[in-house]
Structure formats: structure tokens, C-alpha cells
Amino acid sequence: MNIGFGQILLILIIGLLLFGGRHLPQLFKNLAEGIHTFRETLNQSDSLKGSKNSTDSIKDPVIKKYKKGN
């Protein structure tokens, strides 16, 4: 399923009509930030799968204290 240039153009025109010219750049910026965060989370979860205990690489002091049993 490939999306062509005409389909992308149609989506952008509909977005422009729905959200207006001022809000569209902010909408795309938020969408890009969400995708970036999602990819970072996926990469972190993939790297944690290889370790014995997935809490070893967590830097949260509350979790470290709980893990130590204090």
C-alpha cells in the first residue's frame, strides 16, 4: 500500500481546511515529537530485553531504593 503524491496533497488540503493555516504547523510539530518519542521508547525497550534484569539501566532513585530493599 503506497501513498502517492496526489493522496498526500489531498490529505494536506483537508488538514488545512480542518485546522486552519495557523494551527497546521503546530499540529505537525506535535506529531513529529510524538513519533520521535515513540521510536526512542521502542529502542529503549529493545535494548532492555537483552539484559537479565530490566531495572538495572533505570536511573530512577525510587526504583533503585526499592530494588535494594531499603
Q: pLDDT by residue (tens digit) across 7-47? A: 989 988 898 888 888 888 888 899 899 999 999 988 887 77
Query: pTM for the complete prediction?
Result: 0.47
Q: Which domain holds residue 43?
A: 7-68
Cα 50 to Cα 23: distance, rounded to the nearest angstrom: 42
Question: Is residue 39 within 8 Å of residue 48, measured between CB atoms?
Answer: no
Tell whether 13 is covered by a domain: yes
**Residue 50 lies inside a defined structural domain of this protein:** yes
Residue 12 covered by a domain = yes
2 belongs to a structural domain:
no
The tally of domains found in the chain comes to 1
Domain assignment present for 31: yes
pLDDT, greater one: 38 or 64: 38
Task: Judge whether 1 lies within some domain.
Answer: no
